[in-house]
Amino acid sequence: MTIIGGHGKVALRASRLLADAGHDVTSWVRNPDHVADVEATGASAAVHDAENLSTAEMAQALAGTEVVVWSAGAGGGSPERTRAVDHEAAVRSMQAAATLDDPLYIMVSYFGAKPDHGVPQDNPFFAYAEAKAAADEHLRASDLRWVVLGPSTLTDEPGTGRVDVDATVSGEVTRDDVAAVIAHVVDHGELAGRTIRFNNGDTPVAEALASLS
């Protein structure tokens, strides 16, 4: 399996969980200086700049993978770069994944991502909201087996192992618990076709996600 955006705080946590569970994980990083951090999780690192790879180059780099996790992002850069990474590169990765043999594609989005996100145009968050909404909608319209994850506001508190997948209002969720949700979804392809928005809650991750299948 492949994680695109492998040096992110959630991605590093997820790669450790997945590697510990016996998965063969390859994480893409843009900066060669981040290779050691990825390898410390038990994953393999591949240096690829998703922002500048063509669809064909992505397809070649993804060859043979069964699961693609998109966890990359521009990280609050300019609106142009946000669009280039969070929308355009994400779409190319979906097109590349479509050349594989029925992969599971997991999009790490955010709780409020939707076309009517309600973020004002003069808000610095607007470009990100637009890009994520467009990428998510492209994925849902594709022929891929997909899952869109919508965690709420991320925290670095210790993981609780418990989430609320029925929440209608965004709250908070630890990065540890987002990683746990990713790891669970990787092993449960029956969740394909679902958008899962979640906060921390009272239900163990496995039980909460089983309620959706």
**Token pair of 182 as six digits:** 């990713």
Tell me the average pLDDT across 87-109.
Answer: 98
What integer pLDDT is reported at residue 77 of this predicted model? 74
CB within 8 Å of 35: residues ≥ 6 apart: 29, 45, 47
7-58 residue pLDDT tens: 999 999 999 999 999 999 999 999 999 999 999 999 999 999 999 999 999 9
Distances (CA, A) of 199 to 19, 31, 58, 120, 154: 25, 31, 32, 24, 9
Distance CA 20, CA 57 (A): 29
pLDDT tens digits for 53-77? 999 999 999 999 999 999 999 887 7
pLDDT tens profile 149-195: 999 999 999 999 999 999 999 999 999 999 999 999 999 999 999 99
With 0-12 CB in 10 A as exposed, 13-18 as middle and 19+ as buried, what is 202? exposed
The Cα–Cα gap between 84 and 80 comes to 6
Residues near 213 by beta carbon (within 8 Å), at least 6 away in sequence: 188, 190, 191
- Fold entry, domain 2-210: Rossmann fold (3.40.50)
Which helix (H) or strand (E) element contains residue 54? none
Domain ranges of the chain: 2-210
% the chain with pLDDT above 90: 97
